[in-house]
Amino acid sequence: MCGIVGVVGAENATEVLLSGLKKLEYRGYDSAGIYVNSKTGTPELIKRVGRIKNLEAAIPAGLAGTQGIGHTRWATNGVPSVANAHPHISNDGRFYLVHNGVLTNAKQLAADYLADVTLLSDTDTEVAVQLIAKFVRDGASVKEALRHVMQLVEGSYAFALADRDDVDTLYVAKNKSPLLIAKGDGFNAIASDALALLDRTHDFIELHDEELVVLTKDSIHIENLAGAVQERASYTVDVSEGDGDLGAYPFYMLKEIDEQPAVIRRLLSSYVDDQGQVQMPADLLKTLDGADRLYFVAAGTSYHASLAAAPMFEQLAGVPVSVHFASEFGYHMPLLSKKPMFIFLTQSGETADIRQVLVKVKTMHLPTLTITNVPTSTLAREADYALSLHAGPEIAVASTKAYTAQVATSALLAKALGMFKGTAAAKKLDIKHELSIVATAQQTLVDQKDMIHELVGKMLKTTRNAFYIGRGGDYYVALEAALKLKEISYIQAEGFAAGELKHGTIALIEEGTPVIALISDPVTAAHTRANAGETQARGANVLHIATADLAQPDDELVVPSVNGLLTPLALIVPGQLLAYYASLDRGYDVDRPRNLAKSVTVE
Ligand code: F6R
């Protein structure tokens, strides 16, 4: 979702902006733009709809500049168009603004303050830049004008503001939307994600909500909304730039699917000691032990990972768990238990739906843990505890290795909590051994790509819809596999509790409808097979994916058997590959599906 890059003091701002925006492409966008200026040049504003390559092609040769801001826009207010793309410019031509977030009272502010200004776009951002220009015309300094806008607006923002008449300065402000300051040698910069600037610096400064920053090439001045100066040390982001490289792969998604066994091994080396004991922070375990119920609150794939995690905590640690959509929970909070603890699984650590829940439960003084792939993210910083997923940067919009890391990290934490509580189930489980078996199973599955690709040819190449069915943990995998399929192949796919089909949904089954049955649970395997049979009798094209211990001779795909609690980690791999090849065979951009964003920073 919208990406921001800005720089002041660079020798070639255009280059910094373009390379940074390309690194942020993974977030999802539909238009892009840059503004570049220097003491000797003329200010240039270039915006294009579509990919960054369209923008790049429109940039005049030799445009360098020392000051610049750039943006990739994921439309919220107004269609994707050049007029709605950022940067937005004030009518007097002096101020240029890029923005990530949503200003919910923009229309009201325009009516209250800008009656005499003709707005040229449908965006809330333009309202903000026109307001800044107006307040400066009325006598405010640029900083005070920006502060005034921060006081007036409601909603979320990461702002980067350039003043045509002052090429030595950038103004920055943040509330709820992510933004980092990057300290360079002879320049300073900003970005929505450190990844955008890792080829130039590893030195970053985090910003808190409602902070304003004045940035020059060699100074970083941070203030809060009240004007009090904030001193903040920088931190080092030690992800190597190379971790985000595509290498010989055609798409990041395939690379990330292939990386999953390595992710599990990395998690084992990060969290398990030489004696095979899971090492988690003692105070975290103590707090978890004090909870009478764990509330997992998440979105999308991370919600599905939370569903897979829940039985681990129930069975290994004997603690009840409930799993909720973040977008629902904050506004329709159920009656909480007496001693709840909140766990947020989140790949990006920036999901706005989750953050509003975190903010709410913090005001209730309830303990929180974020498990994320981005240790420096907002949700990691703001929760009481944070654990890292160690999955390396995930670039494809469709999450794969982060799901694996979330489920595996949950297993490690559940085991550690069970040991802390001294449960028999936890003592019996050799988690290192079991996760090693999972890594091997995943390797076996990713090595069967060609066979899985052939299944796509038989089942998914032209269909408009498809069903994944399963029971228990298989149902949770069905939800995730169906989400993967719909987000990148645009097949209308549903994950369904197999037993529920006959209560209505079976009406949708017709000749050739693909039904993919997931079978890994000995208790319900026969029932799921029977449910698949019921669809077959009505013309469905059924694919059985079963674990080796439950497989039958005609099953189309057999998955190596692993520990029952960890089955989602093996079973999901064919689902990811089926989605990948369905998208590829239909000629879509696998990594950048339409309408989607990687980091969902608006509610
Ligand atoms: C789908 C996907 C999304 C995210 C969801 C939450 O492949 O990645 O469904 O899981 O938007 O994002 P995070 O995990 O960053 O909180």
User: In the structure encoding, which two tokens stand for residue 500, read together?
Assistant: 């529920």
State if residue 400 touches ligand 1 by the CB under 6 angstroms criterion.
no
Same domain, 18 and 103: yes
User: 217 with 340, same domain?
Assistant: no
Q: Identify the H or E element spanning 124.
A: helix 124-137
Of the chain, the percentage scoring pLDDT greater than 90 comes to 87
Task: Answer whether residue 239 shows pLDDT above 70.
Answer: no
If you measure from the C-alpha of residue 501 to the centroid of ligand 1, how many angstroms do you get, rounded to a whole number? 27
Let me know whether 565 and 598 are in one domain: yes
Tokens representing 495 are 């994950």
pLDDT of residue 574: 98
> Which protein residue's CA is at the shortest distance from atom 16 of ligand 1?
346
CA 445, 240, 86, 326 torsion-angle sign: positive
**Structural domains in the chain (count):** 3
Q: Where are the alpha helices (DSSP H) in 364-430?
A: 378-382, 401-421, 424-428
Confidence of residue 98 (pLDDT cuts 50, 70, 90): very high
**Nearest CA-CA partner of 186 in 70, 39, 36, 66:** 66
Same domain, 181 and 145: yes
Residue 394 in contact with residue 401, Cβ under 8 Å?
Answer: yes
Phi-psi label, residue 48: left if phi above 0, alpha if psi -120 to 50, beta otherwise: beta
Neighbours of 531 (CB within 10 A): 24
Q: Is residue 484 among the annotated active site residues? A: no
Please answer whether residues 347 and 394 qualify as being in contact, where contact means their C-beta atoms are separated by less than 8 angstroms.
yes
Q: Provide the sign of the torsion angle of the four alpha carbons 334, 337, 339, 340, taken in this order.
A: negative
Other C-beta atoms lying within 10 Å of the C-beta of residue 322: 16
Crossing angle for the helix pair 282-289 and 401-421, nearest 10 degrees?
A: 70
Q: Is 22 a catalytic residue?
A: no
Given a contact cutoff of 8 angstroms between Cβ atoms, the answer to whether 82 and 132 are in contact is no
* Same domain, yes or no: 491 and 548: yes
| Residue that is written with structure tokens 């792939």 in the block | 373
Q: What is the pLDDT of residue 243?
A: 64
Residue 491 CA, ligand 1 centroid: distance in Å: 19
Length of the chain: 603
Average pLDDT of every residue of the chain: 94
For residues 158 and 177, is the Cβ–Cβ distance under 8 A? yes
What spacing in Å lies between the alpha carbon of 346 and ligand 1's midpoint? Answer: 7
Q: What's the confidence (pLDDT) of residue 240? A: 57
The Cα 295–Cα 306 span in angstroms is 10
Q: Do residues 368 and 467 both lie within one domain?
A: no
Task: Based on the fold, state whether residues 579 and 431 are members of the same structural domain.
Answer: no
**542-583, pLDDT tens digit by residue?**
999 999 999 999 999 999 999 999 999 999 999 999 999 999
| Cβ of 351 below 6 Å from ligand 1 | yes
**How does pLDDT run across 448-491, given as a tens digit for each residue?**
999 999 999 999 989 999 999 999 999 999 999 999 999 999 99
Residue type (1 letter), 376: T
pLDDT of 349 > 80? The answer is yes
| Most informative mutation of 74, 251, 302, 345 for ligand 1 (most atoms within 8 A of CB) | 302
Q: Separation of 350 CA from ligand 1 center, angstroms?
A: 10
The DSSP letter of residue 333 is P
Residue 241 has pLDDT above 50, yes or no: no
Ligand 1, atom 7, residue with closest C-alpha: 398
Q: Which of 413, 445, 477 is the last residue of a domain?
A: 445
Q: How far apart are CA 67 and CA 162, in angstroms?
A: 8
In this prediction, residue 479 carries a pLDDT of 98
What are the percentages of helix, strand and coil residues in the chain, rounded to 5?
40, 25, 35
The pLDDT tens digits of the residues spanning 183-220 come to: 999 999 999 988 899 999 999 998 988 999 999 999 99
Ligand 1 mean position, distance from CA 509 (Å): 29
User: Lowest-pLDDT range, 259-263, 287-291, 392-396, 530-534?
Assistant: 392-396
Among protein residues, the one whose CA lies closest to atom 8 of ligand 1: 399
Angle at 189 between CA 183 and CA 193, to 5 degrees: 95
Give the residue from 180, 208, 243 where a domain finishes: 243
Is residue 242's pLDDT more than 70?
A: no
Q: How far apart are CA 560 and CA 445, in angstroms?
A: 8
Span 140-150, average pLDDT: 98
Domain with 27, as residue range(s), is: 3-243
Hey, is 553 helix, strand or coil? coil
Read off the pLDDT of residues 131-144 as tens digits, 9 standing for 90 and up.
999 999 999 999 99
- Scanning the structure block, which residue is given the tokens 């001193």? 231
- Whether residue 349 sits in one domain with residue 264: yes
CA dihedral 251, 254, 260, 263 (to 10 degrees): -10
The Cα 508–Cα 505 span in angstroms is 6
| pTM of the shown model | 0.82
309 with 430, same domain: the answer is yes
Both 399 and 541 in one domain: the answer is no
Residue owning tokens 């950048």: 592
Pocket of ligand 1 contains residue 348 by CB under 6 Å? yes
Q: How many CA atoms lie within 13 A of 488 on its CB side?
A: 30
Amino acid at 81: S
Q: Which residue, among 479, 348, 338, 321, has the nearest Cα to 413 in the 3D structure?
A: 321
Same domain, 173 and 42: yes
pLDDT value of residue 580: 98
**Residue 295 to residue 444: CA distance in whole angstroms:** 34
Q: Does 262 lie in the same domain as 134? A: no
CATH number of domain containing 465:
3.40.50.10490
Structure confidence by residue, pLDDT tens digits, 289-347: 999 999 999 999 999 999 999 999 999 999 999 999 999 998 899 999 999 999 999 99
Domain boundary among 243, 267, 289: 243
Tell me which residue of 311, 371, 368 sits closest to 342, measured CA to CA. 368
Q: Is 302 in the pocket of ligand 1 (CB under 6 A)?
A: yes
Residue 447: phi and psi, rounded to 5, are -75, -10
**Ligand 1: which residue has its CA nearest to atom 10?**
301
